[in-house]
Structure 1
Amino acid sequence: MGIYDAQHLKSFIVKVLTKQKVNEEDAAVVADALVRADLEGVGSHGISRLPVYSKRIKEGRFNANPTIAIEKKGSSVLTVDGDSGLGQVVAYRALQEGIPIAKETGVAAIGIRNSNHFGAASYYCQIACQENMAIIATTNAPPAIPPWGGKTAFLGTNPIAFGFPVTGQPDVIIDMSASIVAKGKIISAAREGISIPSDWAIGPDGEPTNDPKIALEGAVLPTGGVKGYGLALAVEILSGILTGAAFGPHIKSMYEEETLDPANIGHFFLLIDIEKFLPMEVFSGVLKTMLSEIKDSPKIQGVESILYPGERRAKSYQEKAVTGISLSTEVEQELQILARQLELAFPG
């Protein structure tokens, strides 16, 4: 296990992707999204995903240079065809088109199809917050969650994220999957050869398991039982049906080796211009008052401080930007193999 400088890892990601014909601007977006996830303590969505991205680019399942088609429908709606590009690239370009529309009309709804895994949904919330926008961001994913009462994966982990800007302190960033845990954490556990809690997933027989490899053959359980199942279904409708993307078992996993078919993942963004509702200073001031009152709430025994969503990420980011990012031995080895394959140097 080693500790790595964030800028060195970003540079490495850019070199890997540009070596595979991704243009430098797009490569920088992917690098920023992946490394930010690691900085924020969400390594399951960080640089550990680079080897599989690279492999799928090589196979042609991920389009290194997509022709992203963005069409404006009415005054506030964008439909986007990502041409099987890297998910971060497709989503970032769509947001850049949507933000000016939201500033003009107050809202912008963006439906994206023919995309791929786009990393942590929180990344797009942070982009919106920098523009004083509130945002709801959703994406569907390959089948992972069974319908309530079933034992076969049908719906994706289907995260939904919310972002609300706060002046002078960490933004409120709520990023949660409909599953009890992100599938990436089970993938990471399988890679590292460690067990998982038995309430995370079931095996193909429908029984709980603490073996991540068996869990990956079965299904991840929804968070909150039937409520998580309902949330996953709602995100599937927004991200898959409404956008014209694939849904449920018709989405191809980037970890699936037996196909060259595109994943056709869908994303949905709703941008809201706060200034069209309240002056930003008023919105932020009242929000800060509420957050302060939340943090001052009486605490249960053993709790030192109450955090609001977004604080932990911001603290981790600040700390790791100085101390560096820790990568597991397994991830290090995969990245070193990738570097050798592309005749690049992995950061020391």
Structure 2
Amino acid sequence: MNTYNESDLKEFCEKVLEKMGMRKDYSEVVADSLVKANLEGTDSHGISRLSIYAKRFMDKRINVNPDIKVTKKAPTVLQIDGDNGLGHVVSWKAIKEGIEIAKESGTAAIAIRNSNHFGTASYFCQMACEQNLACIGFTNSPPGIAPWGGKEAFFGTNPIAFGFPTGNDQPVIIDLSTSIVARGKIILAAKQGTEIPDGWAIDEDGYPTKEPAAALKGSVLPLGGAKGAALALAVEILTGVLSGAAFGPHVKNLYDDNETENANVGHFFLLLDIKKFMDLTLFFTSIQNLLQEMKEVPKKPDVSEIRYPGERRKRESASRQLTGIELSGNVEQELKELGADFHIPFPEAMSLDHSSKSFSL
């Protein structure tokens, strides 16, 4: 696999999006979100998604420059209509609006409808943490999980995310799907032509499968069995029902070429201004003590370090900023073809000497 510089990939993303008519501030957000996912090791939600987004812009299934409507329903309640925009830009605008309200009133609850896939939920939690706000985020998605006991996908993989500032540049970031694995990882495996591990999914007949194509026709298994399926239902209620978006099997699939309706994905965010609850310095001291004591718990024989959620993400990002971002041959070819369509050259791969630098933290 070839390795690429993050700034080169961002620039490529921005140029493609702007060539399609996206306004500059939106293209910067989308490019930043995609490449940041790659930097942090979440390649399934990274630049590999650019081609499908571009395709849906071209066939008018996603609005490249949405007229996002923000309605203040109560002092701390925002309702957002995303005008069928890409979820990255819809959620970015929603979080920006919500931060101002949370700083004034202490909390902000944001319900979003008429949106699309928004990348990693962690991206928006990080936005809040940079302002010393805590964030809880949810989104629904096209059917991916069967209800417990069923064999047909009904709920989305419906991620849940939390972000807590720590007083340094390494916040606690918890970002997990209610499925045992993000469906994007199965999509990426299908692109790369690799098998998926046992225990990830069942096929359309309800039998375990290691074939990503069969898994995409069947169902991803819920995290923790029945408990994961219950969490998926809770997220569906918050993001689909409460927001007025689509829910369950009514959320349309971005990857279905035969679909003509808007996806109508729903998101829900809750922002908390920590200063309104307690002294910020005391909070930082307490959370750092909590994390340090957690890390000092006696370790299992095969464990060298206990890490909190967000540490691996930060370290991986620092490493890949130096060594570069690896892209599979399939993803690389797909992006080169996309660039050629718009007469935008794909960046040159990093030299072997530069991309093989050792790095440790």
Q: What TM-score, normalized by structure 2, do the two folds share?
A: 0.96
What is the CA–CA distance in structure 2 between the aligned matches of 1:346 and 1:304, rounded to whole Å?
A: 40
Alignment partners' CA distance in 1, 2:169 and 2:4: 27
- Which amino acid in structure 2 is aligned with residue 226 of structure 1? A
Give the whole-Å Cα distance in 2 for the aligned partners of 1:113 and 1:223.
26
166-175 vs 139-148, which deviates more? 166-175
Query: What SS class does the counterpart of residue 79 from structure 1 fall into?
Result: strand
SS in structure 2 at match of 1:298: coil
Determine helix, strand or coil for the equivalent of 2:66: coil
SS at match of 2:214: helix
Aligned 8 A contact 2:139 2:160 in 1: yes
**Alpha-carbon distance, 1:211 to partner:** 0.5
Amino acid aligned to 1:9: L
| Aligned-residue offset at 1:280 | 1.1
SS in 1 for 2:80: strand
C-alpha displacement at 1:343, in angstroms?
A: 1.1
Distance 2:120 2:266 in 1: 14
Q: Counterparts of 1:164-203 in structure 2 under 5 Å?
A: 164-203=164-203
Paired with 1:87 and 1:196, the residues of 2 have a C-alpha distance of 27
User: Quick check: 1:303 aligned with 2:303?
Assistant: yes
Report % sequence identity.
55
Match of 2:20 in 1: 20
Superposed CA offset, 1:129-171 (max 9, x none): 0000001000000000000000000000000000000112510
Which 4+ residue blocks in structure 1 deviate beyond 2 angstroms? none
1:20 deviates by 0.4
Map 1:123-202 to 2 at 5 A: 123-202=123-202
Give the alignment's Cα RMSD to 1 decimal.
0.6
CA distance in structure 1 between the partners assigned to 2:219 and 2:74 by the alignment: 40
Q: Which amino acid aligns with 2:109?
A: A
Counterpart position of 1:338 = 338
Supply the distance in 1 between the matched residues of 2:334 and 2:81 (Cα, whole angstroms): 31
TM-score of the aligned structures, taking structure 1 as reference length = 0.99
Structure 1 counterpart of 2:297, one-letter code? S
* Pair 1:320 & 2:310 matched: no
Q: What SS does the corresponding residue of 2:18 show, helix, strand or coil?
A: helix
In structure 1, the partner of 2:114 is 114
Q: Using the alignment, how far apart are the partners of 1:323 and 1:97 within structure 2? A: 36
Q: Distance in 2 between matches of 1:279 and 1:42?
A: 34
- How far residue 74 of structure 1 moved from its aligned partner, in angstroms, is 1.1
Name the CA shift for 1:93/1:292 in 2 (closer, same or farther; >3 Å): same
Aligned runs of 1:75-114 on 2, under 5 Å?
75-114=75-114
SS in 1 for 2:71: strand
Q: What's the counterpart of residue 282 of structure 1? A: 282
Residue in 1 that maps onto 2:32 = 32
Residues 136, 163 of structure 2: 8 Å contact kept: yes
Residues 253, 259 of structure 2: 8 Å contact kept: no
Gaps of 5+ in 2: 349-361
C-alpha distance after superposition, 1:36-90 (max 9, x if no partner): 0000000000000000000000001110111100000110000000001111000
Q: Note the C-alpha offset of 1:198.
A: 2.0
Q: Is the 8 A contact 1:197 1:210 kept in 2?
A: yes
Aligned partner letter, 1:159: P
Judge which range, 16-25 or 160-169, deviates more: 160-169
2 CA distance for matches of 1:69 and 1:100? 16
Alpha-carbon distance change, 228 to 341 in structure 1, aligned in 2, over 3 angstroms: same
Task: Say whether the 8 Å CA contact 1:140–1:267 is kept in structure 2.
Answer: yes
- What letter matches 2:239 in structure 1? S
Q: 2:208 aligns to what?
A: 208
For residue 146 of structure 1, give the secondary structure of its aligned residue in structure 2.
coil
Measure the CA separation in 2 of the matches of 1:242 and 1:229.
19
In structure 2, C-alpha distance between the alignment counterparts of 1:260 and 1:123, rounded to whole Å: 29
Aligned pair count reads 348
CA contact (8 A) 1:59 1:260 kept: no
Segments of structure 1 that go 5 or more residues without pairing to the other structure are none
1:51 & 1:76 partners in 2: Cα distance?
37
User: How many Å separate the matches in 1 of 2:16 and 2:240?
Assistant: 30
1:220 counterpart residue number = 220
* Distance in 1, Cα, partners of 2:303 & 2:96: 40
